[in-house]
Chains A and B, each alone.
Chain A
Amino acid sequence: MKKMIIGLFSIILVISLAGCGSSNNGSSADGKVSITISWWGDTARNKKYNEIADEFEKENPNIEVKRQFGSWNDYWDKLATQTAGGNAPDVISMHPNYAADYARRNTLLDLDQYIKSGDIDVSNFPKSVVNSGKISGKNYMIAQGVTTSGQVVNKSLFEKIGVDAPGDQWNWDHFVDKAIEVQKAIKAKGLKGTWAVDDQSIQYQPVFEYYLRSNGKQLYTEDGKLGFTQKDVENWFNMWETLRKAGAIPDAATVNEYANVSLEQSLFAKGKLAMHDIPGNQLYLYADQMKDSQLEMVRHPQGPSGDGEFVEGAYLSITKSSKHPKEAAKFINFFVNSEKALKIFKIEQGAPGSTKMNDYVKPQLEKGQQQSLDFIQKTLKYAGEAPYPPKGNTELTTEFTNAANSIAFGKSSVKAASAAFMKKAESIVNNQ
């Protein structure tokens, strides 16, 4: 018995050691270079990335592409650890929420030289899209898909209650009036547990940012300070307080119950909301879930200073620790500019950055996806530039959510919560 155990144990140990021998530093004797790419996503998206990487390898037989992926939270936890350990992948997927934290801590490569050398071709990218990948004037990110946010409207629900659905041209006062009108009609119809719009007061980004921009302000200034005042915060929360008092948004407990659920479980997908803010590229995902309802995207309300739109999206970056930045740049270029890649990727992360690729992809889309693309293309025309946040943006987001929640739960007044938030926000921004 004892011998058997020891024997078994040594066999397994040998296998495990053999199975994980060679450590790889990226290049081998036969001149083959290997780069590692990483992304966030589920199985369906993983499949697309894998196919694109395969296509790239076919075209570049001397480059091997290693792949890493994880779901959203896992991806960022792993990337943070890898970056701290000096072991980050060569090409990483970047998101505006985290871009400032990574770029401002010197972990990303300035891609300017590769754009100048033509390794990465952005000649077909609109200026606003190129600029959305710049942080403090440096080109850290190349857009693989851009999107703008807006209000998705459940037209079937509007018809049912006999209210006209909103159009693209409206301002924040119209928005409040419309929501109240809808709620009255919902009540008259006797629909229980249904609301005009979700509580967007907690949406520091992007809705509050849209609100500020349409009022001539910014979330942040170019030099990384706050671009708004306490008055703006109060106005914002007061607007939502009006809707809350009118019953046009769900109560705080319901909002929180649905705060962290997936798209499929959301109130809007369940048909319990008439309007909801989403990024344009997700429109078709909702349409997939709500086969019986007719959905439409409209722009966020405008303000006295015009449009709130700015470019959001998903990007690709090269890390500073990459040993093969040239090959990495080649991969990025393949991803955003080749028909082979876009044929697979389509509008997975939003409209392709390149206008040429937009035209290429569009005829291949299903109806729902075309709707997404139409909306993004339409609103991109209004999009201005939004300065990137300073470090500490995530902290600020948390504080803003807390302020919104404490008002929603009736724990503090709009004035008190706004003042507390401003104090905290200034100390966070000034301490960076």
Chain B
Amino acid sequence: MTTFKPRRLLLHVIIICIGLIMLYPLLWMIMSSFKESTEIFQSNSFWPKKFTLSNYIEGWTGLSGFTFGRFFLNSFFLVAMCIIGNLLSCSMAAYAFAKLSFAFKSVFFALMLGTLMLPFHVTVVPQYIVFKHLGWINTYLPLIVPKFLGVEGFFIFLMVQFMRTIPKDLSEAAEIDGCGPIRMYWKLILPLALPALITTMIFTFIWTWNDFFSQLLYLSDVKMYTVALGLRMFLDAMGQSSWGALFAMSTLSLIPLFVIFIFFQRYLIEGITAGSIKG
């Protein structure tokens, strides 16, 4: 750039140093994914003695005719559905809580938060029975349909907080122009709450991608397996584990998450200008 700024340099040095601490475990995992399986725990060296791709080949092959490619596709499908579900249902509920007034609003809001406070372990069994009665076991439905019905209170609350920061004069002006609540939701509030929507998208992507417990319970057929379930196949506490393959596939499974984050953080952070409101 123009002149040498020592303070700027110091800032970069600090950011990079902390960044390395953040990244060290990831780098270790990537390095391990290129090691021979016996080397991973027997040596403390960071670099592989010799680079091998065998972990990637072994891991990708998976089992019984299904490669990891299939698991990636299944995960993408599941994630896409969950994102659509969360964006629609949570933004609608959030709009109601943030911008509309109706009977028992605060009671409902408290209930919404309350549903987040019970550890899921004790609701697993009754929930399983509900889905069994619906005939949804071993389908994606138990993982998807609830998202369309706003069970993720986290995102509703998140959007409520963002929508409440939208100045009131904006919505009042729109109302005077004869804008009804549905148009207002679609044309004004949603564009203005874009950072919250993008955040919801990113988090839904990452959390659904990584969540294995509900996928474990409801998906039994290997052909429906997701990446999260596929990764757990490499481990067995009672026998031998394929660590090399696990690291290799874990590394691959982080790539989509990383790409999504890099791609969407632009929309999240780099300027939603006033101009974009008029769609």
In-complex A–B contact (CB below 8 Å): yes
In the bound complex, do residue A77 and residue B38 qualify as a contact, i.e. CB atoms below 8 Å apart?
Answer: no
Which residues B76-93 have CB closer than 8 A to chain A?
A: 77, 80-81, 84
In the bound complex, do residue A72 and residue B236 qualify as a contact, i.e. CB atoms below 8 Å apart?
Answer: yes
In the bound complex, do residue A41 and residue B80 qualify as a contact, i.e. CB atoms below 8 Å apart?
Answer: no
A16 to B77, CA, bound (A): 9
Contact A71/B232 with A23-B135, A81-B128, A265-B41 known, Cβ cut-off 8 Å = yes
In the bound complex, do residue B84 and residue A42 qualify as a contact, i.e. CB atoms below 8 Å apart?
Answer: no
In the bound complex, do residue B40 and residue A264 qualify as a contact, i.e. CB atoms below 8 Å apart?
Answer: yes
In the bound complex, do residue A45 and residue B239 qualify as a contact, i.e. CB atoms below 8 Å apart?
Answer: yes
In the bound complex, do residue A42 and residue B62 qualify as a contact, i.e. CB atoms below 8 Å apart?
Answer: no
Q: Which residues of B contact A46 (CB under 8 A)?
A: 63-64, 233
Closest to A284 in B: B240
In the bound complex, do residue A50 and residue B232 qualify as a contact, i.e. CB atoms below 8 Å apart?
Answer: no
The segment out of A82-90, A106-114, A423-431 that lies at the interface is A82-90
A291 to B249, CA, bound (A): 26
The answer, among A2, A71, A73, A289, for a CB contact under 8 Å with B38, is A289
Closest to B58 in A: A43
Which residues B207-265 have CB closer than 8 A to chain A?
A: 212-213, 216-217, 220-222, 232-243, 245
A43 to B67, CA, bound (A): 12
In the bound complex, do residue A86 and residue B132 qualify as a contact, i.e. CB atoms below 8 Å apart?
Answer: yes
In the bound complex, do residue A16 and residue B141 qualify as a contact, i.e. CB atoms below 8 Å apart?
Answer: yes
In the bound complex, do residue B245 and residue A43 qualify as a contact, i.e. CB atoms below 8 Å apart?
Answer: yes
A285 to B240, CA, bound (A): 7
A85 to B124, CA, bound (A): 10
Q: Which residues of A contact B135 (CB under 8 A)?
A: 23
In the bound complex, do residue A71 and residue B237 qualify as a contact, i.e. CB atoms below 8 Å apart?
Answer: yes
In the bound complex, do residue B233 and residue A9 qualify as a contact, i.e. CB atoms below 8 Å apart?
Answer: no
A270 to B217, CA, bound (A): 36
B277 at the interface (CB under 8 A from A): no
The segment out of A62-70, A125-133, A395-403, A407-415 that lies at the interface is A62-70
In the bound complex, do residue A12 and residue B80 qualify as a contact, i.e. CB atoms below 8 Å apart?
Answer: yes
In the bound complex, do residue A71 and residue B139 qualify as a contact, i.e. CB atoms below 8 Å apart?
Answer: no
- Closest CB of chain B to A180's CB: distance in Å? 29
A72 to B216, CA, bound (A): 13
In the bound complex, do residue B132 and residue A85 qualify as a contact, i.e. CB atoms below 8 Å apart?
Answer: yes
Which residues B137-190 have CB closer than 8 A to chain A?
A: 137-141, 144, 186
Give the contact-size bracket for chain B. Answer: 35 or more
- Closest CB of chain A to B129's CB: distance in Å? 5
The answer, among A16, A66, A269, for a CB contact under 8 Å with B220, is A66
Contact A42/B241 with A20-B140, A70-B232, A71-B236 known, Cβ cut-off 8 Å = yes
- Closest CB of chain B to A281's CB: distance in Å? 9
Q: Which residues of A contact B40 (CB under 8 A)?
A: 264
Contact with A along B44-84 (1 / 0, CB 8 A): 00000000000000000011100000000000010011001
A87 to B131, CA, bound (A): 11
- Closest CB of chain B to A83's CB: distance in Å? 10
Contact with B along A273-300 (1 / 0, CB 8 A): 0000000001001001101000000000
In the bound complex, do residue A42 and residue B128 qualify as a contact, i.e. CB atoms below 8 Å apart?
Answer: no
Contact A43/B63 with A9-B84, A270-B42, A289-B38 known, Cβ cut-off 8 Å = yes
In the bound complex, do residue A85 and residue B129 qualify as a contact, i.e. CB atoms below 8 Å apart?
Answer: yes
Contact with B along A79-118 (1 / 0, CB 8 A): 0011011110000000000000000000000000000000
Contact with B along A1-24 (1 / 0, CB 8 A): 110000001001100110110010
Q: Which residues of A contact B186 (CB under 8 A)?
A: 2
The answer, among A16, A23, A43, A68, for a CB contact under 8 Å with B233, is A43
In the bound complex, do residue B64 and residue A42 qualify as a contact, i.e. CB atoms below 8 Å apart?
Answer: no
Contacts beyond the supplied A20-B136, A43-B245: 6 A-B pairs with Cβ under 8 Å = A20-B138, A23-B137, A42-B236, A43-B234, A84-B128, A85-B129
| A interface residues, Cβ below 8 angstroms from B | 1-2, 9, 12-13, 16-17, 19-20, 23, 36, 40-47, 50, 66-74, 77-78, 81-82, 84-87, 262-265, 269-270, 282, 285, 288-289, 291
